[in-house]
Amino acid sequence: MSEMNTAGTQGPEAAATPHAEAMDTPCLETAGYPIAIDGPSGSGKSTVSRQVARELGLSYLDTGAMYRAAAWAAQHAGVELTDQAAVTAVVRAMKLDMPLDPDNKKISCEGEDITAAIRAPELSRVVSQVAVNLEVRAELIARQRAIIAAHPRIVVEGRDITSVVAPEAPTKILLTASEETRLARRAREVRGSAAPDALAATRAEVTERDAQDSTVASFLEDREGVVTIDSSQMSIADVVAAVRTLAQGSGKEQE
């Protein structure tokens, strides 16, 4: 069963509205889930996480999109991103609709479709200013935990899922790749090209984002129970298969 289509969040106490639909893929009830996947930009975590959710009939949560939505909401409200108190106030009041269906990428904030806006290069350059705001992180982490609690059969991806958001998840994965592989993937995703100029622009953004995020989320550190997968020389299908194997193995251990 796919547990829901969207999660509407406004504050940590917000509940999501379930939407059940039949799925052909058999899957464990809760053993092995949630699946927590962390990784830096360009590691392939979004593509892999969505595909794992599709194949196992699970919900999917992109926590990075929540930080992007928070940055958009602050800008939309005319707030300076350096004004942490003002940004926090906006985010706490933010009405955000996150799709939990891996095939639905539409994200709405305050009733407005922001799917394309939050992926624009100009927003990518400033989202880290919001991501390092500790009060904003606390707000969004509370929302993320509420979603996971309501829908435990879910794949959750981000940068602090295995360490902060869901450290108790039975399946915890750090997805990595070489720097050049990550830059090429990210450049193609954001700029549609891995040409030298696109790589140079992407390198500056990725380096800054990784450096700033590492000050509040040590996602690249080895942690007990977290399995590292280096996807540099792996196909998407191979990585997905590895994640599925780990989840199913974790499920058997819990039985």
pLDDT tens digit sequence for 98-145: 999 999 999 999 999 999 999 998 998 899 899 999 999 999 999 999
User: Is the pLDDT at 253 greater than 60, yes or no?
Assistant: no
250 annotated ligand binder: no
Residue 150: which residues within 8 A CB-CB, separation 6 or more? Answer: 7, 15, 16, 18
43 annotated ligand binder: yes
| pLDDT band at residue 218 under the 50/70/90 scheme | low
What pLDDT sits at residue 199? 84
Residue with tokens 């992180």: 137
46 annotated ligand binder: yes
**Could you tell me which of 52, 38, 12, 36 has the C-alpha nearest to residue 213?**
38
| pLDDT band at residue 160 under the 50/70/90 scheme | very high
User: Is the pLDDT at 174 greater than 50, yes or no?
Assistant: yes
What pLDDT sits at residue 141? 98
Contact between residue 170 and residue 254 where contact means Cβ atoms under 8 Å apart: yes
Fold of 27-254: Rossmann fold (3.40.50)
251 annotated ligand binder: no
44 annotated ligand binder: yes
Contact between residue 47 and residue 236 where contact means Cβ atoms under 8 Å apart: yes
**Could you tell me which of 22, 213, 9, 3 has the C-alpha nearest to residue 107?**
9
User: Is the pLDDT at 192 greater than 90, yes or no?
Assistant: no
What pLDDT sits at residue 13? 42
40 annotated ligand binder: yes
Residues 96 and 178: their CA atoms lie apart, in Å, by 34
Per the model's pLDDT, the better-predicted residue between 10 and 46 turns out to be: 46
Per the model's pLDDT, the better-predicted residue between 144 and 41 turns out to be: 144
Tokens of 95: 């009405």
What pLDDT sits at residue 72? 98
178 annotated ligand binder: no
49 annotated ligand binder: no
Tokens of 37: 């996947």
| pLDDT band at residue 24 under the 50/70/90 scheme | very low
What pLDDT sits at residue 2? 35
What pLDDT sits at residue 251? 53
The domain spans of the chain are 27-254
42 annotated ligand binder: yes
Please report the beta strands in 102-233, taking only residues with DSSP state E, as ranges in sequence order: 108-109, 112-113, 154-158, 171-176, 226-230
